[in-house]
Amino acid sequence: MTLLALTLAVALVQPPPAAGAAQSTTTAPTMRTLDKGDHSNVDDAAQLVAKSAQEWQQLWQKHTPDRPRPTVDFSKEMVVGVFLGSRPTAGYTLEIVSATQDGGKLTVRYREASPPRDAMRAQVLTSPYHIVAVPFFPGEVKFEKAGAAGRAGK
């Protein structure tokens, strides 16, 4: 109880932002995962953007033509996807962690991880990917690898 009271007291004594202080123009739009996994037909590493139904159809056709394509309303959303490309074993992971608008750019950050060195790994080719829908953004889309996640499972 004392710890809770102390935490509350510290939070209440924090000074308010200075009047006239510069406000950040960065906004983080909401993301909706459309598909994520470790088996894509996209064999090479790629970062892809689809801003129209036609581009989405082409992206999905490359990725997995045998499954139904998730619905996207391109008047409100667009699609971004990151593909690691072919990997020699199981255990590799990929996640889009944020999509942030800053001025005239949308920055998509993703994190990838490798299996632990001492882990038993299935000897099977994998191709990890993550595809998300974000609010439509007419400007430039930039991809950045986020801080290293290290080894998966550690």
Give the mean pLDDT of 89-99.
93
Q: How far apart are CA 77 and CA 58, in angstroms?
A: 17
Give the separation between CA 120 and CA 106, rounded to whole angstroms.
Answer: 38
Cα separation, 51 vs 78, in Å, equals 5
pLDDT, tens digit, 9 for 90 and up, residues 105-131: 999 999 998 888 888 887 888 999 999
Tokens of 93: 């992971």
Give long-range contacts, CB 8 A cutoff, 24+ apart: 54-63. Answer: 55/79, 59/131, 63/35, 63/129, 63/131
- CA dist., res. 24 & res. 7, Å (int): 27
| Furthest CA-CA distance within the chain | 59
What's the CA angle centered on 95, arms 117 and 136, to 5 degrees?
A: 165
CB-CB contact of 34 with 64 (8 Å): no
Q: pLDDT tens-digit profile of 1-57? A: 443 333 333 333 344 444 444 444 555 568 999 999 999 999 999 999 999 999 999
